[in-house]
């Protein structure tokens, strides 16, 4: 459902336009607590000599990154943990099995690796990960609106405590400073060009978001 956060109601007479923008693959690191709740991943981290575990999250609009209140995964998808060699050291990345090629290529891999762990998405529910910009903890919730045709199987949303809507739109201002900070701290996997349909509310013309609860 297209929801207008400005009018605070479902948007009628929605108009759409295609915009060129960027999609971002960002790392949301597992918190200490999350590793305790998901010991299989913590064990892999140890075996592989990795220094952290991150969910690769697709398409967080950079200018709303500070407002992110949660992350969503797809309830019926399988997820994988893979080894990711980076400049900072060995890392473990988590993403949807179906999109493994996508997010590994985004990270610069030429070959697709053998997953270290394959698991059903239920394992992810309620885990708390760190916002790459603010280090604030955000909670993983399920949503069947999470795309499985592109991205990584994780998307971010901003909204109230129940996580009532998902940010699908691209950044309106791709803040160069934020981008630089994320790049410097090793939290950016990749920036890719994106052509996307943006929906606008017929009443106020502001961009709508997809409501999923």
The contact set with Zn ion (CB under 5 A) reads 4, 6-7, 201, 203-204
| Separate counts of helices (H) and strands (E) for the chain | 4, 14
CA dihedral sign, ordered 196, 144, 59, 150: negative
Q: CA-to-CA distance for 85 and 107, rounded, in angstroms?
A: 9
Phi and psi, residue 143, nearest 5°? -155, 125
> Which is nearer to Zn ion, 12 or 120 (by Cβ)?
12
CA angle 150, 155, 156 (to 5 degrees): 155
Least distance between Zn ion and beta carbon 6 (Å): 4
Phi, psi of 33 (to 5 degrees): -60, -45
Minimum CB separation of residue 72 from Zn ion in Å reads 23
Q: Which residue lies nearer to Zn ion by CB, 90 or 164?
A: 164
Q: Which is nearer to Zn ion, 54 or 167 (CB)?
A: 167
Which residue lies nearer to Zn ion by CB, 107 or 159? 159
CB of 198 to Zn ion, least distance (A): 14
Note whether 90 and 50 are within 8 A (CB): yes
**Closer to Zn ion at the Cβ: 54 or 207?**
207
Closest distance of CB 203 from Zn ion, Å: 4
Q: How far is the CB of 15 from Zn ion (least distance, A)?
A: 11
25 contact partners, CB below 8 Å, separation of at least 6: 56, 57, 58, 103, 106, 107, 151, 152, 188, 189, 190, 191, 192
Provide the minimum distance between the beta carbon of 208 and Zn ion in the complex, in angstroms, as a whole number: 7
Q: What one-character-per-residue DSSP string does 194-212 give?
A: EEEEEEE-TTT-PBPEEE-
Between 50 and 201, CB nearer to Zn ion: 201
How far apart are alpha carbons 14 and 64 in whole angstroms?
22
């Amino acid at each position: 459902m297209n929801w207008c956060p400005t009018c605070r109601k479902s948007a009628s007479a929605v108009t759409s336009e295609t915009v060129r923008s960027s999609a971002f693959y960002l790392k949301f690191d597992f918190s200490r607590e999350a590793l305790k709740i998901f010991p299989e991943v913590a064990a892999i981290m140890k075996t592989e000599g990795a220094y952290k575990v991150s969910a690769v999250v697709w398409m967080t609009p950079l200018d709303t990154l500070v407002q992110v209140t949660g992350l969503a995964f797809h309830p019926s998808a399988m997820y994988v943990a893979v080894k990711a060699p980076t400049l900072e050291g060995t890392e473990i990345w988590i993403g949807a099995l179906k999109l493994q090629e996508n997010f590994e290529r985004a990270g610069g891999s030429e070959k697709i690796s053998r997953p270290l762990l394959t698991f059903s998405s239920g394992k992810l529910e309620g885990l708390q990960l760190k916002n790459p910009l603010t280090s604030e903890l955000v909670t993983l919730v399920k949503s069947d609106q999470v795309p499985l045709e592109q991205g990584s199987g994780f998307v971010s949303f901003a909204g109230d405590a129940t996580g009532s809507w998902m940010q699908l739109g691209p950044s309106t201002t791709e803040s160069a400073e934020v981008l630089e900070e994320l790049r410097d701290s090793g939290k950016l996997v990749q920036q890719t060009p994106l052509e996307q349909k943006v929906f606008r509310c017929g009443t106020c013309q502001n961009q709508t978001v997809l409501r999923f609860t």
